[in-house]
Amino acid sequence: MVSSAIALEATENVKEQHQPRQPVQVLAVTGGKGGVGKSNVTINLAIELGKLNRNVLILDADLGLANIDVLCGIQPHGTLSDVLNGECSLDDIVVQIDEHVRLLPASSGASKVASLTEAEYGGLIYAFSSMRAPIDTLLIDTPAGIGSQVTAFCRAAREVIVVVCDEPTSVADAYSTISVLSKEFQVKRFNILVNKVASSDRALDLFDKVLARTDVSLDVMLSYFGAVPEDKHLHIGACEQSPVVKSYPGSQASKAFKKLAKTVDGWPEPEQPIGHVEFFVERLVMQGVNR
């Protein structure tokens, strides 16, 4: 049974610690439906951000059906399930996947880990602030759908990146995700990334479709983040269990990820607590405890 001890410990830490820490740029990568390429986007964007001398931590937040370790061709020696069961710390399971990029692997097939309370989610995110490894950028790869895992982690992010591909269902699911996050959880700013698209013109068309749907009924701000072209090297890299930016740095997809990383690097750094993980977690943890 998943223990709630981590949530209770986080609650005590929140009460005892009031000094602000160095803010962390928290980015959640989501997309509604499965198969849009969120995990590939997360991995390759993280590595390119690392090349810009950012210290990046990837959280595989699909706590029941993790796959980033598989895409990177690594065998983790522990997972978030072990942390939540009190068997080890986050530092014990972190895996280095590039010079400036680390991964916190999740479990695969652990249904109880995928059904955490908000307090336990809060305790998990709070634990990042106590890690020994330096972190200035946290990339969260959320699961498909719009369940509690997605909403909890998107609420804890300064920026939400919504991945869309050239399929009607993808556009519809992206809209649904944005709608739920904005109406029920007051997330108002979204960055649209069009993945596996034939051309930049087509990418802009898809962005316009999402924008048109949200403009009608939602009070949100959508920004065009960019596009990753359809590229055979993405599929080859996935089959080889190696990120495309490492295996095929000259490919069109790799060039797109490099451009996206430069865009992220130009985003304002968080200066106020609103972008700081611990303050979001304090709200999540206290809500869970006060139920």
Query: What's residue 125's pLDDT?
Result: 59
Query: What's residue 81's pLDDT?
Result: 73
The structural domains of the chain, ordered by start, are: 23-110+137-270 (3.40.50.300)
Query: What's residue 175's pLDDT?
Result: 93
Query: What's residue 117's pLDDT?
Result: 63
Single pTM value for the model: 0.82
Q: Are 227 and 256 in contact (CB under 8 A)?
A: yes
Query: What's residue 273's pLDDT?
Result: 45
Residue 74: phi, psi to the nearest 5?
A: -120, 155
Beta-carbon contacts of residue 141 (< 8 Å; ≥ 6 apart): 29, 38, 39, 42, 58, 59, 60, 61, 62, 68
Query: What's residue 10's pLDDT?
Result: 45
Cβ neighbours of 283 (radius 10 Å):
14
Query: What's residue 118's pLDDT?
Result: 59
Beta-carbon contacts of residue 239 (< 8 Å; ≥ 6 apart): none
Query: What's residue 127's pLDDT?
Result: 61
The residues of the chain scoring below 50 in pLDDT are 1-21, 110-113, 273-291
Query: What's residue 108's pLDDT?
Result: 58
